[in-house]
A = this chain, B = another copy of it.
Amino acid sequence: MTDLRRLVILRVMPKPNHREKILSAGLAVFHKQGFHATGVQDVVDHAGVPKGSFYNHFKSKDALGLEVLESYWTAGGSARTELQTDGVAPLERIDRHLAAAGYDKNGCLIGNFSSELAGSDEFRSRLSELYKVWISEVAACIREGQEDGTLRRDERAENLAEFIIEGLEGAKLKAKVERDPAVLKRYRNSIRLVLQSP
């Protein structure tokens, strides 16, 4: 292969590691600055890749945003496994989940995107699905606690789970404004109190 031909191939073929760099840069900057305040140029600058490389891997900023949302959701999977730990009381599991999904000075990306991007049908419908899965996982844990008599039974598990996840999103928003993890700590204490069987 001539040097020239090698050079042409290197320039034209998408570099797989560039894709990963762009995705992780997108997650960092969208989370920190917000989606609309961030341009493709900011993302590639942060990734340290040439701008042309972006469009080899992603159709648009929206396409990157949707993949970033998936990465964030997948990364949050470890916090959700807390809900299923064997041998731990349901109330404790919920508390551990809230702690693991807890304070971040940039808030929750799911909450941030809910606020900024609910106008887009693509983002909105994916966000709605993620909430649904998340809430059903929390509800399953609450149902166990209702069955063993440790958690209140005067409200459906699904409604309590929705209440908890919405409240968590609100608490993360408030903690971001206050720049104070104590907001999340108070939120967890309130949830403990609210969920316990009277």
Task: Select which of B36, B118, B171, B176 is within 8 A of A176 by beta carbon.
Answer: B118
A114 close to B160 (CB less than 8 A)? no
Tally of contact residues, A, Cβ under 8 A: 44
Which has the most chain B C-beta neighbours within 10 Å: A111, A155, A173?
A173
A135 and chain B: residue at smallest CB distance: B174
A159 close to B178 (CB less than 8 A)? no
A103-120 vs B, Cβ < 8 Å mask (1 yes, 0 no)? 000010001101110110
A33 at the interface (CB under 8 A from B): yes
A176 close to B131 (CB less than 8 A)? no
Q: How far is the CA of A34 from the CA of B112 in the complex (A)?
A: 11
Task: Select which of B119, B159, B179, B186 is within 8 A of A33 by beta carbon.
Answer: B119
A11-36 vs B, Cβ < 8 Å mask (1 yes, 0 no)? 00000000000000000000011101
A151 to chain B, nearest CB (A): 13
B33 close to A190 (CB less than 8 A)? no
A152 to chain B, nearest CB (A): 8
A163 to chain B, nearest CB (A): 4
A154 to chain B, nearest CB (A): 6
A191 and chain B: residue at smallest CB distance: B163
Q: How far is the CA of A32 from the CA of B117 in the complex (A)?
A: 11
A174: B residues at CB distance < 8 A: 114, 131, 162, 165-166, 169
Q: How far is the CA of A4 from the CA of B186 in the complex (A)?
A: 66
A167 at the interface (CB under 8 A from B): yes
Q: Say yes or no: A190-B155 contact (C-beta < 8 A), given A114-B173, A115-B176, A128-B178.
A: yes
A128-165 vs B, Cβ < 8 Å mask (1 yes, 0 no)? 10010000000000000000000000110001101101
Q: Say yes or no: A116-B170 contact (C-beta < 8 A), given A193-B154, A194-B194.
A: no
Write 8 A-B pairs (CB below 8 A) sorted by A numbering: A32-B119, A34-B36, A36-B116, A116-B116, A118-B177, A163-B190, A168-B170, A198-B198
